[in-house]
Amino acid sequence: MELNVIRNTDPEIAKLVEEELSRQQNTIELIASENFTSEAVMAAAGTVLTNKYAEGKPYKRFYNGCEIVDKIESLAQERVKKLFGVQHANVQPHSGAQANMAVFLYVLKPGDKILGMDLSNGGHLSHGSPVNFSGMYFDVVSYGVNENGYIDYDDVEKIAIENKPKLIIAGASNYPRIIDFKRFRQIADKVGAFLLADIAHIAALVATGLHPSPVGYAHFITTTTHKTLRGPRGGVIMCDDEHALGIDKAVFPGTQGGPLEHIIAAKAVAFGEALKPEFKEYAQQVINNAKTLAQTLIDNGLDVVSGGTDNHLLTLDLRKVGKTGKDVANLLEEVHITANKNTVPNDPQSPFVTSGVRLGTAAVTTRGFTEEDMKIVGEIISNVVKYSDDETIFEKSKRMALALCEKYPLYSKGEKLRTI
């Protein structure tokens, strides 16, 4: 990352960028929705493509001068279609929430009923939360998880039969187990509903065959590109050809104006990276690291929702130790670990406090962490939870975390960022 140009024009912003770079370099990143892009992805996002306005689809624009961005966007589409094995892809959504909004616009009218996972049980804001557009404009019913932290598909079917939703959403922002997309489609067919699979968190695992794919079951698939896919911040919608025209219209002009062609170029670079054989090795290591972290926490006497994980994330349940997610997340930040407070199923605390902390391994795996490193991370977290009042242990935890950061330098200390 070249900072000289920024520094010469706006030293105040350049200084803040440098401070953020230092924070990332000296922090163990366990926020499950974050990752680190390659230098190539980051560079693509900062190109002259940011100057081009390109309303419409490739080769059907409302502006002239789109010959080059047409080729770039088409390449991004073809790469993501190959990556997931789908017929059609729209790479213009600015985010996962925007992608979901476009699907809603295409298949629903205000007041129609949707069935999605409850936010407090692991769902996402855009799956029907009352504070989100999805909960404001549609009639929402929700499903959750059972006492063991798993989706009860018979219960989902019962709710669907009783409520007859027009759209069912399969997917989550905090569910550590395999999602049975085939079972969801059976339920959708039984009540005549469309099925939307939101794979924002597990996209890399789906793309590499390490999690069952919704392709062939879901009518619509949405994902972000900045989580396990290691791309820039953005979204994608995938579907069969029969829905392509409607989805494209729902994106533009339905929910967005001109696409961000510099970000689409960065998406194309990320999709190209994900198509390489070594990306599957990365995705498998993400899972291995998450499993190791979960087991280390359990071995140290802590509770993990559902007793473990099948993917890249897990949730530490703090009810037994009498601490809140808010407090523990703040304590972890003091020892150079970032994570986010998160509700646990049937959480007695408010969403602003919570009884859990969500932990993800995509970013640290990008950095180079292995199972042995995750054991150390698990020990640090356990010490912070159990011995936060012991200054000696707390300071030792800081040193352990910083030692791991030094072991795996995220980017070089100078102007250039190391390619991941």
What percent of the chain is modeled with pLDDT above 90? 95
Which residues have C-beta within 8 Å of that of residue 375, sequence separation ≥ 6?
Answer: 292, 296
What's the mean pLDDT in 291-313? Answer: 98
Whether the CA torsion 172, 175, 181, 187 is positive or negative: it is negative
Express each pLDDT in 208-237 by its tens digit: 999 999 999 999 999 999 999 999 999 999
Express each pLDDT in 80-97 by its tens digit: 999 999 999 999 999 999
Residue 40: is its pLDDT beyond 90? yes
Q: For the chain, give the mean pLDDT.
A: 96
pLDDT at 141: 97
What's the mean pLDDT in 226-252? Answer: 98
Express each pLDDT in 308-355 by its tens digit: 999 999 999 999 999 999 999 999 999 999 999 999 998 999 999 999
Q: pLDDT band for position 418 (50/70/90)?
A: very low
Of 112 and 419, the one with more pLDDT: 112
Query: Residue 27 corresponds to which amino acid?
Result: T
Of 40, 100, 115, the residue nearest 270 (C-alpha): 40
Q: Are 325 and 349 in contact (CB under 8 A)?
A: yes
What's the mean pLDDT in 114-143? Answer: 94
pLDDT at 57: 96
pLDDT at 414: 45
User: For the whole model, what pTM was predicted?
Assistant: 0.95
What's the mean pLDDT in 137-148? Answer: 96
Q: Are 312 and 285 in contact (CB under 8 A)?
A: no
Q: pLDDT band for position 413 (50/70/90)?
A: low
Which residues have C-beta within 8 Å of that of residue 169, sequence separation ≥ 6?
Answer: 100, 114, 115, 116, 117, 123, 127, 128, 196, 197, 198
pLDDT at 416: 47
Name the residues annotated as catalytic.
Answer: 53, 55, 198, 224, 227, 233
Express each pLDDT in 256-284 by its tens digit: 999 999 999 999 999 999 999 999 999 99
* Start-to-end Cα distance in the chain: 13
Residue 1: is its pLDDT beyond 70? no
Residue with token string 């009218």: 109
Whether residue 259 is preceded by a cis peptide bond, meaning omega within 30 degrees of 0, is no
Q: pLDDT band for position 299 (50/70/90)?
A: very high
- Report how far residue 360's alpha carbon sits from residue 226's, in angstroms, rounded to the nearest whole number: 14
